[in-house]
Amino acid sequence: MSTRKDSAYPAANYLNRELGILAFNRRVLAQAKDAANPLLERLRFLCIFSSNLDEFFEIRAAGLKAQINLHFTISTPDGLSAQDALEHISREAHAMVEEQYALFNREILPGLAARGIVFLRRSAWSEAQLEWVRDYFLREVMPVLTPIGLDPSHPFPRLLNKSLNFAVELEGTDAFGRSIDKAIVQAPRVLPRVIRLPDELCDCEYGFVFLSSVLHEFVGELFAGMKVHGCCQFRVTRNSDLFVDEEEVKNLRATIQGELPQRHFGDAVRLEITDNCSPTTASFLLGQFGLTDRELYTVAGPVNLVRLMQIPELVQRGDLKFAPFLSGTPPSVKKTQSIFDSIRASDILLHHPYQSFMPVIELLDQAAIDSRVVAIKMTVYRTGTDSVLMQSLLRAAQNGKEVTVIVELMARFDEEANIGWATKLERIGAHVVYGVVGYKTHSKMLMIVRREEAPSGSVLRRYVHLGTGNYHPKTARQYTDFGLLTCNDEIGDDVNEVFKQLTGLGLAKSLKHLWQAPFTLHSNMLAAIHLEAMAARAGKRARIIAKMNSLLEPGIIDALYDASNAGVKIDLIVRGVCALRPGIPGLSENIRVRSIIGRFLEHHRVFYFYAGGAEEVLLSSADWMERNFFRRIEVAFPILDKKLKRRVLNEGLRLYLADNRQAWEMDSVGGYRPHRTRGKLNNARCAQEELIALLKPVE
């Protein structure tokens, strides 16, 4: 079957999504290669690259493989088949992984060792270190291991997705006289992947050994009386996308809970082995997982570098990390004890992580205990397992507030945490709704209804927070996002209407300010682009600047091509994948695309249209992707306050267009080159560093 939508332009004018994601990961890998970054941060980027690649195989590559297995013919706008895409992916991913481990072994590890942070190989252990590691193995590791010899009564075990395992080649017979030549040892996830040696055993500041080295050295202890001929690490990556037929399901939460355990045992899509693995063992493992040589990745080091993410936290070396900074707080929030007073005085714009997420936490915290607050409504997409915001919602419900929470159960990899919060909220009487079947609730909205005195008497006033990022205090320190705090009546009415849609029944009413998916967001974005094109054709000033994570939706791309042909100057700041081809004469010569990769993950979505001088500025939780426009509940909200609008234009767009340190310019074939400053060093501009300085706390 074919699901490709017709487009106004030929397939050659669009770029492939999967290859675009890999191109983004290559830019992340470039941060690990950049010697200008502190060494422990380079290691962190290397781990982020590994984590991104894991998810890419779990979701994107797995999806392509499933299409092939099910004989689906899903033609994408770029026209690349699933089979062709997988072949391109294999070539590109193998090359990047080879670069990753070369960097790890030739620069990162030697660089750390030169600074007193040493990962000791087995061959370098002293007698005292060997004795300590042996004791550690016998005391902490061996009791939790379950070696599995492979024979007719012990088939190949069902291995968890991305778990660390060892394939052992043996010779001899076991206690029952069985001749066994292969065994599998699974390393439980409770075991640390990196172990720090006692200071007195090291002649360096930090001495570490890999768990894999420990197991490799003492694996013979698990097979008494048998000879070990070989031992190698391996890890299998599986399809981790949950499949829930929402049209058939009767209880979404129960269905997802039932599906979650199966996520760890989906179809295999990638096998990683260490370079000491024999061809025989490699072939055996490929056969067990039903994989081909194309899906085999041989690495020179630990098969899971993600677990080294803990090293920068364990090592207290500020000279090898980014300089710490304090998040600022808007002066208007500091002036009053009540956050409600601050919001009532004027709209408040928060720019994370440069400005603190605390005002949002304080808003909900104060609302939970304020006797004048009568109701709280909130959407939850990702919030974490130990969220202070969720604790405030629980406290509010216990204090008799009407608490309504729209929990998105299909938030990928956060399903279990969200189910846990939903269960706790329901137990204490909160209203928990799971959104709309068939649509993910991705919008970030919080509304607090408070009874207040006014000249006309007692009134109910709505206080609203709208954001581009999740209600997750941890990611608010790592992701760039905007949040708006307002008690504007018209915006409050719009937000209330969206909550009514999510919790009740009835037709959607028109909204005054918010653009909402799946109803008006796409059409309004198209209309705004078309208006700029019309202005340009009439010889008037026209301008579009947009910042987002991904640009894929064909209708938007076609409209941007038309606007470019009309003469509209268009700047797109797209962190991740962009399917539009910029800079093609007669098609997109007026479009420039750049990507910013730096210390923080660029996450906010900002949209600017000149609009005949009105200069519309909107923030949103939505990227320009089909799923955001048509399969999610999303909102885009305007910045009405002129002062705050100028801030968004400067902080969210102009500084990024001026960046010549962390920016990558995209070419017409999907390649990226670093946009580096020429000339003197004082010409360098880095948006993230400038924002740290601009929004730092005022003494």
| C-alpha distance from residue 69 to each of 59, 64, 82, 497 (Å) | 15, 9, 10, 43
CA distance 652 to 666: 19
Pairing between β-strand 431-433 and β-strand 440-441 as defined by DSSP bridges: unpaired
DSSP state of 154: B
CA dihedral 368, 372, 374, 379 (to 10 degrees): -50
Kindly state the tokens that stand for 699. 């003494």
CA dihedral over 496, 502, 507, 511, signed as positive or negative: positive
Rounded Cα distance between 381 and 299, Å, is 36
- Residue that is written with structure tokens 């010899």 in the block: 149
What is the torsional sign of CA 653, 655, 657, 663?
Answer: negative
Comparing CA positions, the residue from 614, 635, 625 lying closest to residue 520 is: 635
Tell me how crowded residue 671 is: count the other CB atoms within 10 A of its CB: 11
Q: How far is CA 122 from CA 109, 197, 216, in A?
A: 15, 13, 9
Alpha carbon distance 41, 33 (integer Å): 10
Identity of the residue numbered 550: S
Residues 51, 43: Cα–Cα separation, whole Å: 13
Q: What are phi and psi of 601, to 5 degrees?
A: -80, 115
Residue 154 annotated among the catalytic residues of the structure: no
Give the separation between CA 380 and CA 359, rounded to whole angstroms.
18
CB 166 within 8 A of CB 231: yes
Instruction: Give Cα separations from 360 to 320, 346, 467 (angstroms).
Output: 32, 15, 10
CB 159 within 8 Å of CB 236: yes
Please identify which of the residues 216, 352, 442, 522 carries the catalytic annotation: 442
Catalytic site residues?
Answer: 442
